[in-house]
Amino acid sequence: MHEANNKQNNKQTRMSIERVKEMIRTVPDFPKPGISFKDITPILQDPSAFKFVIKQMAVPFKNKEVDIIASAESRGFILGAALAYELGAGFVPLRKPGKLPYRTLREEYKLEYGTDAFEMHVDGIRKGDNVLIVDDVLATGGTMKAAVNLVRKLSGNIAGIALLIELDELNGRKKLKGIPVYSLLKI
């Protein structure tokens, strides 16, 4: 048992931002021609990389009061739930329309390849809750802007936005003026 723990600890100390960046798989023409999809599945499959990513994404928010993590469907759920656990916060899913069983609020948004919408339970955030919004990728900013709008509709305070990847060339951050945005990786 002791040997297994040492092996895991040595693997974690060798993990780095550059190593995590190398693990991202680019899938051309997905979900449609001209889009280069950033696949984080290899990071999620590697326990050391996944743990490293969550610990690193938590660092900027460790000393801030975060009551709730709100995460976008679906890869955002994976990161957001783990980050909520790490920060001792609650978790609220932002779901595609028709997926939540209780009364919801809805926010539509544009993607780089179409339009979509999120819904959140009307009691998902209480007035004054400090909310950290978490997702895997910031591209054009439409998804994050929709998440911000939903949180604000319920009178939540935006503590910040935490992302695994930010696609710099798409300038999604411009839509999020005045909100602290933390990206672990900029590509």
CATH number of the domain encompassing residue 57: 3.40.50.2020
For the stretch 34-43, pLDDT in tens is: 889 999 999 9
Q: How far is CA 59 from CA 52, 55, 62, in A?
A: 11, 7, 5
Contact 62, 132 (CB under 8 A): no
Q: Of the residues 19, 86, 112, 152, which is catalytic? A: 112
DSSP β-bridge partners for residue 27: 37
DSSP assignment letter at 3: H
Q: What pLDDT, on the 0 to 100 scale, is given for residue 6?
A: 42
Structure tokens at 127: 């007035």
For the stretch 133-179, pLDDT in tens is: 999 999 989 999 999 999 999 999 999 999 999 999 999 999 999 99
Q: In what order do the strands lie in the sheet with 68-72?
A: 90-94, 68-72, 130-138, 157-166, 181-186
Report d(CA 140, CA 75) in Å as an integer. 17
Number of compact structural domains in the chain: 1
For the stretch 86-118, pLDDT in tens is: 999 999 999 999 999 999 999 998 776 678 899
- Residue 73 confidence (pLDDT) above 70: yes
Q: Which domain holds residue 163?
A: 2-186
Contacts of 178 by beta carbon, 8 Å cutoff, 6+ apart? none
Q: How many residues does the chain have?
A: 187
Residue 112 catalytic? yes
Q: Of the residues 75, 107, 166, 173, which is catalytic? A: 75
For 23, the enclosing helix (H) or strand (E) is helix 17-23
